[in-house]
Amino acid sequence: MRRIIPETANAQRVCSQIMLATITEEGQRPPLPLEMLSVQAIAEQIFDYEFLANSADPVLPDTLEVLAASPGQRELLVGLLMCLALVSGEARTEVVTVIDRVAAQLQVSLPQRDLLRFALRRQPRRFLWRITCNAAIDYWAKGGHPSLRDWAQIARQAFIPQLLTSRQIAKRYQDLERFPRESLGRAVYDFYRSHEWALPGEPKGMPEQFIVHECTHVLTGYGTDPHSEMLTAVFTAGAKRRNAIDWFLLPLMQWHLKEPVASLSRRDAYRGLLQPQKYFHAMRRGMDSRISLMDDHWSFWENAHHSVAALCERYNIRPADPALVS
C-alpha cells in the first residue's frame, strides 16, 4: 500500500481530527498517552506533517470532501484508524462505530471490519483462520487460488513439520554457503546458521515459501527478537498490495495484545511491545519500497547472486533511522 500524503494544511487538520475522534470516541473519553503517541507517529511517519495535539477538535467534521479526491488516501486512512482501535488493548465497540461512520463518509468498503471485530472480541482463532487463508494466497499461490497441495503443506507445517524434510531441497540451501559473502543467498544462509535454525528441507526446517520472510529480515536489517519481528511484520504489511489492512492488524494482535495470530502458541505472543514511532516508521519503509516479496512474483533463486546492497537500492528499501530500530 502506497503512502499518499495530505498536502494542504486543511487536509492535514482533517486527518488529525479524524484520528482524534477515533481514539476519544468523539470526545467521550480522554485518550491514553500511547494512543496520542500513535496519532503523532502516523502524522509524522506516514503523512509527513507535524502533529500538534491542540490543532484539531476530537469530533468528526461534517464533511470529508477535502479527502475525497484520492481513493488510495481514503483507504489508507481507514486502515490506520483500525490500527488505532487496537492500541488501547480494550474491546470498545464505540471506536468501531466511529470508524464505520468515517468509512461511510469516505465511501470506503470495509471487508476487514469482521477482522477488527475478531480482534476486539479476542477471537484469535477466527483471526488466525483469516490470516492463514491470506498466507495461502500470498506465500503459496502468489495471489491465485491455493491448491489442495498448498493446503496440505500448510497443514503439515502446523501439525507435523517433521514430514517437510527433503535432502534435495536441503542440499540446494546448504550450497548457499559458497555464494559471495555480499550476496543475498549467502546472507540468508548466514542468517539461518547464526540463529541455529534448520534450513528448508532439513529436519524441523520451515517450508521454502517462508524464505521471503527471512529475506525481508536481511534486506531491512531488522533482527529476530520479538519487537524486531513486530517491525519486520509491519514493514511487510506496508509493502503489500493485497490484503494490506489485514496485515496492518496482525503485528498489533501478536506483539501488542498477546493474541497468537501469527503462530499457534501463546508463548510466541507478547503484550505491550508497540512503540509507535518505530512501528509506523517500519510501515513507512515498507510503503516506500518498490516491491512486495509476498505479493509480487519474486524469486529468491533469481536474486540470490545479487548483493544485498544492490537489491536494497533497486527496491528502494532505505536504511532505517538508527533511533527507530529495535
Q: What is the pLDDT of residues 162-181, one digit of tens each?
A: 556 788 999 999 999 999 99
Contact assessment for residue 115 and residue 128, using Cβ atoms and an 8 Å cutoff: no
Closest CA to 298 of 147, 136, 138, 133: 138
Give the C-alpha separation, 227 to 224, whole Å: 8
Q: What is the pLDDT of residue 157?
A: 58
Give the C-alpha separation, 133 to 116, whole Å: 16
Q: What is the pLDDT of residues 179-198, one digit of tens each?
A: 999 999 999 999 999 999 99
On whether the pTM is more than 0.75, the answer is: yes
Task: Provide the residue ranges of all domains of the chain, joining segments of one domain with +.
Answer: 9-110, 126-324
Residue 117 has pLDDT above 90, yes or no: no
- Record the cell numbers describing residue 210, joined without a space: 517462508
Q: What is the pLDDT of residue 159?
A: 53
Instruction: Characterize 126-135 residue by residue with b for buried, 16 or more Cβ atoms within 10 angstroms of its Cβ, and e for exposed.
Output: ebbebbeebb
Look at residue 318 and give its three-state secondary structure.
coil
Contact assessment for residue 8 and residue 74, using Cβ atoms and an 8 Å cutoff: no
Residue 147 has pLDDT above 80, yes or no: no
**CATH fold for domain 9-110:** TerB-like (1.10.3680)
Q: What is the pLDDT of residue 229?
A: 95
Look at residue 124 and give its three-state secondary structure.
helix
Contact assessment for residue 69 and residue 7, using Cβ atoms and an 8 Å cutoff: no
Residue 244 has pLDDT above 80, yes or no: yes
Work out the average pLDDT over 223-251: 91
- 1-15, 37-51, 132-146, 211-225: least confidently modelled range: 132-146
Q: How many CB atoms lie within 10 A of CB 237?
A: 26
Question: In the chain, what is the straight-line distance between the N-terminal and C-terminal CA atoms, in Å?
Answer: 23
- Average of per-residue pLDDT values in the chain: 86
Q: What is the pLDDT of residues 19-67, one digit of tens each?
A: 999 999 999 999 999 999 999 999 999 999 999 877 788 888 887 877 7
DSSP 8-state symbol, 242: S
- Record the cell numbers describing residue 168, joined without a space: 534435495
Q: What is the pLDDT of residue 40?
A: 97
Closest CA to 156 of 140, 177, 174: 140
- 71-80, 117-126, 137-146, 230-239: least confidently modelled range: 137-146
Residue 274 has pLDDT above 70, yes or no: yes
Give the C-alpha separation, 324 to 57, whole Å: 29
Look at residue 121 and give its three-state secondary structure.
coil
Q: What is the pLDDT of residues 66-90, one digit of tens each?
A: 776 677 788 899 999 999 999 988 7
Largest CA distance in the chain: 64
Give the C-alpha separation, 211 to 46, whole Å: 28
Q: Determine phi and psi for 70, rounding to 5 degrees.
A: -125, 100
Q: How many CA atoms lie within 13 A of 101 on its CB side?
A: 16
Give the C-alpha separation, 187 to 308, whole Å: 8
